[in-house]
């Protein structure tokens, strides 16, 4: 069995144990295998094993890597987890199934226009900048509800949840708790939060999608 598959099974086991400790029996978060920068020989064993959810940061890299694979296997779901520039929105809408980084009206309008052209509806997460970090994208918490209403009522976008990346070096627990509360306020069911180092903490606060890279694929070069 390939090492990446062994790693995935280990993560699945740790998630099940965490859910048992929380007395959660029905909610099983989806694992997004973050395959950015990794070549197909690292990814193919997971595809062969039957894993379906993969995450990429850059549109162009994803096109080169996934276009042919998705033609052969239409069950694979591709998640854009990195920042999306408006000039790449058309390409992203064509390839991806989920976008986790919706972070402003300009991008929302562009996604809406491109979706209408090809009659496609992506599943979208609003990225929330919980740490109010200048270097990070995302909607400020105080503006999330207004932005959500704009996306739903004016653009009819399929907003399924919210996403966050806690500030580096800080305890993520408070940020996960805050995003969970925001999600409840918006009556959204999906939460994209938790990565290789903190996914079990995120699950405690109802994460439904965890984005795991190095713990599956190993360190990036």
- pTM, two decimals, is 0.96
* pLDDT recorded at residue 169: 84
pLDDT attached to residue 53: 98
Cβ atoms 102, 155 nearer than 8 A? no
Residue ranges and CATH numbers for the domains of the chain are: 3-217 (3.20.20.10)
173-181's contacts with Cβ under 8 Å and 24+ in sequence apart are: 173/201, 173/204, 173/205, 175/130, 175/131, 176/201, 176/202, 176/204, 176/205, 176/207, 177/205, 178/130, 178/141, 179/128, 179/130, 179/205, 180/205, 180/206
For the chain, which residues score pLDDT lower than 70? 25-26, 133-135, 221
- Name which of 120, 74, 71 is nearest 112 in CA terms: 120
Measured CA to CA, the distance from residue 78 to residue 95 in angstroms comes to: 8
Query: What pLDDT is attached to residue 162?
Result: 98
pLDDT in tens, 109-167: 999 999 999 999 999 999 999 877 666 789 999 999 999 999 999 999 999 999 999 98
pLDDT for the residue numbered 168:
85
Number of H helices and E strands in the chain, helices first, is 9, 8
Q: Which helix (H) or strand (E) is 11 found in, with range? A: helix 3-21
Look at residue 174 in the predicted model and tell me its pLDDT. 95
Q: What is the pLDDT of residue 221?
A: 64
């Amino acid at each position: 069995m390939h090492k990446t598959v062994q790693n995935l099974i280990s993560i699945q086991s740790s998630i099940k144990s965490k859910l048992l400790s929380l007395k959660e029996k029905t909610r099983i978060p989806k694992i997004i295998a973050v395959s950015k920068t990794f070549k197909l020989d690292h990814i193919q064993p997971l595809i062969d094993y039957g894993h379906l959810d993969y995450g990429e940061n850059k549109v162009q890299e994803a096109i080169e890597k996934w276009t042919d694979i998705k033609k052969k296997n239409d069950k694979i779901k591709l998640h854009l987890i990195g920042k999306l520039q408006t000039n790449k929105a058309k390409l992203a809408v064509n390839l991806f199934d989920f976008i986790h980084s919706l972070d402003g009206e300009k991008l929302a309008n562009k996604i809406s226009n491109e979706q209408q052209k090809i009659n496609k509806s992506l599943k979208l997460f609003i990225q929330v900048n919980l740490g109010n970090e200048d270097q990070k994208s995302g909607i400020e918490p105080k503006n999330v509800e207004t932005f959500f209403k704009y996306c739903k009522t004016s653009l009819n976008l399929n907003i399924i949840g919210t996403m966050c990346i806690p500030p580096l070096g800080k305890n993520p627990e408070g940020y996960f708790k805050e995003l969970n509360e925001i999600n409840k306020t918006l009556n959204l069911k999906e939460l994209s939060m938790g990565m290789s180092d903190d996914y079990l903490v995120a699950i405690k606060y109802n994460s439904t999608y965890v984005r795991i890279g190095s713990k599956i694929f190993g360190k990036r070069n």
